[in-house]
Amino acid sequence: MNRSVWLGLFIVMSCAHAMPANPFLPQVSPCEKLTAQLAGWVLQGVIGSAVTNTALMLSPQGIWRRIKVDNELVPGVRIESVNEAGVSAKIAPTCQPATYRWEIKGKNHAMDTSNVAGAATAIHKPGR
């Protein structure tokens, strides 16, 4: 009895594995999957130094990473440049376009505006 159950399960699993893909579902290419995965990454900022620039990026899973030139972001994606304008990565040569670019979301110099406004408010406060 036990042997026949295993044999039946094996036959069902092998038939299910051999079935073709659902023709009504859209076929997604590996390049489209990779581009969708990269779109989930968010560039939060770039820290510059005399030697190299480092980007702070947030992964789709919510993990912070420090990214530099020649780092591998995900398998098959190598960081090409990191500068104040953004981060660009080289994707597999079979994908078009062959590069992907992130820019910092929001308005330019938003942090500088907040700091200047906060400092001006602190100077004009009466008290201590």
* CATH number of the domain that residue 82 is part of: 2.30.30.830
Task: Return the beta strands (E) in 11-123 as ranges.
Answer: 42-48, 53-58, 64-67, 72-74, 77-83, 86-90, 99-102
Task: Return the beta strands (E) in the chain as ranges.
Answer: 42-48, 53-58, 64-67, 72-74, 77-83, 86-90, 99-102
What is the residue range of 70's domain? 40-105
pLDDT tens digits for range 71-124: 999 888 999 999 988 999 999 888 888 899 999 876 555 454 444 444 443 444
Specify the number of domains making up the chain. Answer: 1
Indicate whether 52 belongs to any domain: yes
Indicate whether 32 belongs to any domain: no
* pTM (whole model) above 0.75: no
Three-state DSSP at 70 gives coil
